[in-house]
Amino acid sequence: MGKLTFHGGIHPYDGKELSKDKPIKAVLPKGDLVYPLSQHIGAPAVPIVKKGDHVLTGQKIAEAAGFVSAPIYATVSGTVKAIEPRRVVTGSNVESIVIENDGKYDEIEYQKPAPLENLSKEEIIALVREAGVVGMGGAGFPTHVKLSPKEPEKIEYVIANCAECEPYLTSDYRRMIEEPEKLIGGLNVMLQLFDNAKGILAVEDNKPDCIAKLKRLTMNNPRITVKGLKTKYPQGAERQLIYATTRRAIDSTKLPSDVGCIVDNVDTVVAIYHAVVEGKPLMNRIVTVTGDAIADPRNFIVRIGTNYHELVEEAGGFKKDPVKIISGGPMMGFGIFDLDVPTTKTASALLCMTRDDVSRWEPTACINCGRCVEVCPGRVVPSRLADDANRGDEEAFLSHNGMECCACGCCSYVCPAKRPLTQSIKSMRSIVLANKKKK
Amino acid sequence: MSDLMKVSSNPHVRSKVTTSNIMLCVVIALLPAAGFGVYHFGLRALLHIGITVATCVLSELIYELMMRKPVTVTDLSAVVTGLLLAMNLPVSAPWWMGMIGGMFAIIVVKMLFGGLGQNFMNPALGARCFLLIAFTSQMTNFAYDAVTGPTPLAQLRAGELTNNTVFDMIIGNTQGTIGETSMIALVIGACFLIIMGVIDLRIPGSYIISFVIFLILFGEKHLDMSYIAAQIAGGGLILGAFFMATDYVTRPITKKGQYLYGIFLGVMTGIFRLYGASAEGVSYAIILGNLLVPLIEKITMPKPFGKGGEHS
Separation of CA B159 from chain center: 27
Cβ atoms of residues A425 and A382 within 8 Å:
yes
CB pair distance less than 8 Å for A324 and B5? yes
Tell me, yes or no, whether A24 lies in a domain. Answer: no
pTM of model > 0.90: yes
Q: Residue A237: which of A421, A424, A407, A381 has the closest Cα?
A: A407
State the virtual CA torsion across B190, B195, B197, B203 in degrees, nearest 10: 40
Q: Is some CB atom of chain A closer than 8 A to the CB atom of B255?
A: yes
Tell me, yes or no, whether A121 lies in a domain. Answer: yes
Q: Is the dihedral of CA A271, A277, A283, A284 positive or negative?
A: negative
Q: Is some CB atom of chain A closer than 8 A to the CB atom of B72?
A: yes
pLDDT by position in tens, chain A (length 439):
467 899 999 999 999 999 999 999 999 999 999 999 999 999 999 999 999 999 999 999 999 999 999 999 999 999 999 999 999 998 889 999 999 999 999 999 998 899 998 999 999 999 999 999 999 987 889 999 999 999 999 999 999 999 999 999 999 999 999 999 999 999 999 999 999 999 999 999 999 999 999 999 999 999 999 999 999 999 999 999 999 999 999 999 999 999 999 999 999 999 999 999 999 999 999 999 999 999 999 999 999 999 999 999 999 999 999 999 999 999 999 999 889 999 999 999 999 999 999 999 999 999 999 999 999 999 999 999 999 999 999 999 999 999 999 999 999 999 999 999 999 999 999 999 998 888 7
Cβ atoms of residues B183 and B191 within 8 Å:
no
Same domain assignment for residues A411 and A262: no
Domain range for A418 is 371-438
- The C-alpha atoms of residue A193 and residue A287 are separated, in whole angstroms, by 29
Q: Which of B9, B116, B305 sits opposite A377 (nearest CB)?
A: B305
Same domain assignment for residues A259 and A384: no
Write out residues 94-133 of B within 8 Å (CB-CB) of A.
115-118
Domain total of chain A: 2
pLDDT at A23: 95
pLDDT at B296: 96
Testing the interface with B: which of A90, A92, A165, A251 to mutate, by most B Cβ within 10 A?
A251
CB pair distance less than 8 Å for B307 and A401? yes
pLDDT at A1: 43
B9 CB neighbours in chain A (<8 A) are 335, 420, 422-423, 426
CB pair distance less than 8 Å for A379 and B118? no
CB pair distance less than 8 Å for A373 and B17? no
Q: Residue B180: which of B30, B25, B26 has the closest Cα?
A: B30
Mean pLDDT by 10 residues, chain B (312 residues): 78 95 97 95 94 97 95 94 96 94 96 92 95 89 63 74 74 88 95 96 97 91 81 90 96 96 96 86 94 95 89 74
Tell me, yes or no, whether A170 lies in a domain. Answer: yes
Tell me, yes or no, whether A94 lies in a domain. Answer: no
Q: CB contacts < 8 Å between A and B, how many?
A: 172
Alpha helix (H) ranges present in A60-207? 121-130, 143-146, 171-178, 180-193
Testing the interface with A: which of B305, B311, B312 to mutate, by most A Cβ within 10 A?
B305
CB pair distance less than 8 Å for B8 and A371? no
pLDDT at A414: 97
Q: What is the ipTM of this complex?
A: 0.90
CB pair distance less than 8 Å for B8 and A420? yes
Tell me, yes or no, whether A352 lies in a domain. Answer: no
Separation of CA A298 from chain center: 18
Q: Is some CB atom of chain B closer than 8 A to the CB atom of A353?
A: yes
CB pair distance less than 8 Å for A366 and B18? no
Q: Which CATH architecture has domain B20-299?
A: Orthogonal Bundle (1.10)
Q: Is some CB atom of chain A closer than 8 A to the CB atom of B15?
A: yes
Testing the interface with B: which of A7, A250, A251, A379 to mutate, by most B Cβ within 10 A?
A379
Write down the domain spans for chain B: 20-299
Same domain assignment for residues A130 and A255: yes
Q: Residue B285: which of B215, B236, B212, B222 has the closest Cα?
A: B236
Write out residues 390-419 of A within 8 Å (CB-CB) of B.
400-401, 404, 407, 409-410, 412-418
Same domain assignment for residues A267 and A129: yes
Write out residues 139-158 of B within 8 Å (CB-CB) of A.
none
